[in-house]
Amino acid sequence: MKPARREFLKAAAAAALALPAPFARAASGSEDKLKIGTIGSGNVGGTLGSVWVKAGHEVMFSSRTLENDKALAAKLGPRAHAGTPREAAAFGEVLLVSVPYGSLPEIGKELGDLLRGKVVIDTCNPFPGRDGDIAKWAREKGVGLASAQLLPGARIVRAFNAIGSSSMGEAHERPGRVGMPIAGDDAEAVALASRLVRDVGYEPVLVGGLAMGKYLMPGTPLAGEHTPAEIRRIAATLK
């Protein structure tokens, strides 16, 4: 592991032990439950949001189809809500963005004032066949750094990028056995996102800053299910 990355990981661990409110409460495990807004409620957003509701968090689902979100919220009970993307962005202390990568510029433009300063878990992956030129640009730049440019001011953590959504709904049945590689530049945001990763049933493994986010997508060595130890071993070989 390179010295710079080692120092980054040490700093992130230290920050998790000395978080200011509300992040200290959110990272501890005995704190008040969170309000989470999902921008996108498809296979990934709907699955993760549903697990977080069952873990005791309050979640507002949003997508292009409000009726579908209302039906999902009704099925999950009183801690689940449905709204427009703007309502969900205002509602959430933490936001999950899970949309086709080509939609990120629109989200950054329409919701930028609400995203600024908030922790945003970015699950989005750029696929040229679906997303076109922006996907090619994001892959060349590095998807984590590209997301940060498209959602300026958001405290981005990349996670849930290269594991199937069906597995995400089952991970809580075997908590901690499968690792979840995550990447982010903001230590407080990483600590908060790590707690939500654990609530889903994965053990978060910080692989580095957003520059390492280019490896958190299908087709890379970190894709698929790995133990936490395997993720650390693989990440140490990447640059």
- Residues in Cβ contact with 50 at an 8 Å cutoff, skipping those fewer than 6 apart: 59, 72, 76, 80, 169
Apex 214 CA angle, 208 and 215, nearest 5: 75
Residue segments in the chain with a per-residue pLDDT below the cut of 50: 11, 13-30
The secondary structure of 123-168 as a DSSP string is -----HHHHTHHHHHHHHH-HHHHHHHHSTT-EEEE-S-SS-HHHH
CA–CA dist 232, 168 (Å, integer): 20
Q: What is the dihedral of CA 215, 47, 40, 225, to 10 degrees?
A: 10
3-state helix, strand, coil in the chain (%, to 5): 50, 15, 35
pLDDT of residue 4: 52
pLDDT digit string (tens) for 98-137? 999 999 999 999 999 999 999 999 999 999 999 999 999 9
3-235 CATH choice from 1.10.10.10, 3.40.50.1860, 3.40.30.10, 3.40.50.720 = 3.40.50.720
pLDDT at 209: 97
Q: What is the DSSP string of 1-31?
A: --HHHHHHHHHHHHHHTSPPTTHHHHHHSSS
Q: Count of CB atoms within 10 A of residue 10's CB?
A: 10
| Predicted TM-score of the model (pTM) | 0.87
Q: What is the pLDDT of residue 207?
A: 97
pLDDT score for 10: 52
Calpha distance 70→36 (Å, rounded): 16
Q: pLDDT by residue (tens digit) across 20-40?
A: 333 333 444 445 799 999 999
Q: Where are the domains of the chain?
A: 3-235
